[in-house]
Chains A and B, each alone.
Chain A
Amino acid sequence: MIPHLWNDLEGTFFPESALDYMPESRLREVQLQRLRAVIALSYEKVQLFRERMEAKGLKPADVRQLADVCQLPFLVKTDLRDTYPYGLFTVPMSEVVRVHASSGTTGKPIVVGYTAQDMEVWKQVIMRTLYAAGFSRGDIVQNMYGYGLFTGGLGLHGGLEGIGATVIPISGGNSERQIMVMKDFGVTAICGTPSYFIHLIETAQKMGIDFKRDLKVKRGVFGAEPWSDQMRQYIESTSGVQAFDIYGLSEIIGPGVGAECECQDGLHIFEDHFLAEIVDPKTLEPVPDGTEGELVITTLSKQAMPVIRYRTRDITAFETSCCRCGRTCRRIRRISRRSDDMLIIRGVNVYPSQIETALLKTEASLPHYLIVLTRKDGLDQLEVRVEITGGMLSDNVGAMEQLQKRFSRSIEQITGLHATVTLAQPGSITRSEGKAKRLLDQREIPN
């Protein structure tokens, strides 16, 4: 594809996005032909995949239609660790032009690789993401995703250059400088994690800068961590920045697996490159459309490191209606939680997002909070530390105790667990420069 024909420059529809609107029958045809090719490639080059296929008595030729993907073996995160660093690569290193790695909290990181063509595909899906969010040439974009081994920064960077935006590769951190650059460089759009941006909104307030009055930022693409519609409302109402969700993960390609369009109602998966399934995380059987389950993705065009049936651990559901924007590629609901985020507290399954919902039900905007788990006399104790803001404060101690009780009651209603709510001073909970840290689990794990 030739980027930026001169006669497209002033337009509002960009040819890269045309693939979002493919007739569905053609889309499925493209998916099947690419699926068969990627399975043949993996079977030939990746020992782990071949062995698992053989164990199931399957040959690449057994995949005749898209539905046959259900019979293929899954790939999980530990497989990427076990084959560290290059065990899932299908091409010689001379073909690999880029590697990224995810931060390993325990032990070795996971490594992913890209051929030159993979880089082009990545750029294309990011361009489609940005166009869907209303970015275009002429935007001055502050990219606050981390640059380096993390796929966020450089991933967005490629697509931003692709659409011809002016990129400020500032990376994360140094909040006051971020605001200064936003103001002085006339930034019109931003990319980053939503929790860091909320932190920046607070920083701007402290600096006496009013986002709506003093800055020109109109839109932002936010991702790399689950965030809620309430967080979006908070961002949009306090900063005036229209906030779009982006989905992706390093194991698949990085950011750019799916993105929200102007309707902000679920994320379109770029299905010509990624085959999405949703399965029951326990039985691993597909669930009917509209039902929640774990998202499983197969890359259809990746060369250096194709992954087949990767279990993302992200919980979502397919949207069953057609999107008003007219795109034909299917949408998933925004990721609210991960199957491995689940906490078991006194035997009850709790997701941090439930605590967030409970806090939002009590207060209109989401306060900073931290879930602290301890164990006393063999029993799990759930404490939620909530930072007070001026807006929540009353000069009446009784009213503050009432607020504490309302938080506690709301958490109990949603999770079924008693929680001790502790009110904390603003800024006392550590702010993240990247992904939000919401949990401090101090329980000793019994052997």
Chain B
Amino acid sequence: MKIRQISIFLENRPGSLSALCRTLADAGVNLSTLMLSEAGEFGLLRIIASDADKAQTVVEKAGYAATTSEVVAIQVPDKPGGLAAVLTALDSHQIPVEYMYAFAQRSGRDAIMIFRFGDLDRAIAALKEAGFGVCGAIDLF
């Protein structure tokens, strides 16, 4: 149910993102999706790769500062109000979203969004109760 996400510290300067992507590419790691958040002179790159162990080893061996955390991939109905319905279900249990971003692939007619919560288990339970699909690694890769 939970997906492993790797967050990598990058300096905000030309070439730093491409250098990392090149490192992953050379090691044959395919990125399923990613999100880059920038804060002034640095940024955090969050990646989801089919082979999380390999991605983590490659990144750390290349000397990057990286940390892993777990996130949830949720099937969001791809129609107006789809995301609002998911968020309403979370709000009703007062579960705050720390951050979220889109997964690059679809699952049938649904879009997939990656969510990060403080309490993943509670969030998963709340979403299932409201009838939303939560994807495991098997569904995604």
A interface residues with partner B (beta carbon < 8 Å): 206, 387-390, 392-397, 400-401, 422-428
**When the two chains form their complex, are residues B63 and A395 in contact, meaning their CB atoms are under 8 A apart?**
no
Q: Which residues of B contact A426 (CB under 8 A)?
A: 9, 63-65
Q: How far is the CB of B24 from chain A (nearest CB, A)?
A: 16
The CA-CA distance from A401 to B116 in the complex, in Å, is: 19
Which listed residue (A388, A401, A422) contacts B9, Cβ 8 A? A388
Q: Which residues of B contact A400 (CB under 8 A)?
A: 9, 39, 42, 44
**When the two chains form their complex, are residues B65 and A392 in contact, meaning their CB atoms are under 8 A apart?**
yes
Q: How far is the CB of B93 from chain A (nearest CB, A)?
A: 21
Taking the complex as formed, is B3 at the interface, i.e. its CB lies under 8 A from any CB of chain A? no
Taking the complex as formed, is B119 at the interface, i.e. its CB lies under 8 A from any CB of chain A? no
Decide yes or no: A425 and B9 within 8 Å by CB, A206-B63, A393-B65 being known contacts. Answer: yes
Please classify the interface of chain B as helix (H, G, I), strand (E, B), loop, or mixed, using the class held by over half of its residues.
strand
10 residue pairs of the A-B complex, CB under 8 angstroms, read: A206-B63, A393-B65, A395-B5, A395-B44, A400-B42, A400-B44, A422-B42, A423-B11, A423-B42, A425-B10
Q: Which residues of B contact A423 (CB under 8 A)?
A: 9, 11, 41-42
Decide yes or no: A395 and B11 within 8 Å by CB, A425-B64, A426-B63, A426-B64 being known contacts. Answer: no
Decide yes or no: A390 and B60 within 8 Å by CB, A424-B11, A425-B10, A425-B16 being known contacts. Answer: yes
Q: Which residues of A contact B69 (CB under 8 A)?
A: 395
The CA-CA distance from A207 to B65 in the complex, in Å, is: 16
Q: How far is the CB of A134 from chain B (nearest CB, A)?
A: 35
Task: Name the residue among B5, B16, B44, B116 with the largest chain A CB count within 10 angstroms.
Answer: B44
B interface residues with partner A (beta carbon < 8 Å): 5, 7, 9-11, 16, 37, 39, 41-42, 44, 46, 60-61, 63-67, 69, 98-99, 116
Q: How far is the CB of B39 from chain A (nearest CB, A)?
A: 5
Given contacts A396-B98, A425-B64, A426-B63, 19 further A-B contacts (CB under 8 A): A206-B63, A389-B65, A390-B60, A392-B65, A393-B7, A395-B5, A395-B44, A395-B69, A397-B37, A401-B39, A423-B42, A424-B11, A425-B10, A425-B11, A425-B63, A426-B64, A426-B65, A427-B63, A428-B11
**When the two chains form their complex, are residues B66 and A390 in contact, meaning their CB atoms are under 8 A apart?**
yes
The CA-CA distance from A64 to B63 in the complex, in Å, is: 62
Q: Which residues of B contact A424 (CB under 8 A)?
A: 11, 42
The CA-CA distance from A394 to B5 in the complex, in Å, is: 12
Task: Name the residue among A206, A394, A401, A423 with the largest chain B CB count within 10 angstroms.
Answer: A423
Q: How far is the CB of B117 from chain A (nearest CB, A)?
A: 12
Decide yes or no: A388 and B65 within 8 Å by CB, A423-B9, A425-B11, A425-B16 being known contacts. Answer: yes
Decide yes or no: A395 and B64 within 8 Å by CB, A423-B41, A425-B11, A425-B16 being known contacts. Answer: no
Which listed residue (A206, A390, A396) contacts B65, Cβ 8 A? A390
**When the two chains form their complex, are residues A397 and B11 in contact, meaning their CB atoms are under 8 A apart?**
no
**When the two chains form their complex, are residues A395 and B46 in contact, meaning their CB atoms are under 8 A apart?**
yes
**When the two chains form their complex, are residues A397 and B44 in contact, meaning their CB atoms are under 8 A apart?**
yes
Q: Which residues of A contact B98 (CB under 8 A)?
A: 396
Residue of A nearest to B6 (CB): A395
Q: How far is the CB of B82 from chain A (nearest CB, A)?
A: 25
Q: Which residues of B contact A428 (CB under 8 A)?
A: 11
Residue of B nearest to A396 (CB): B98
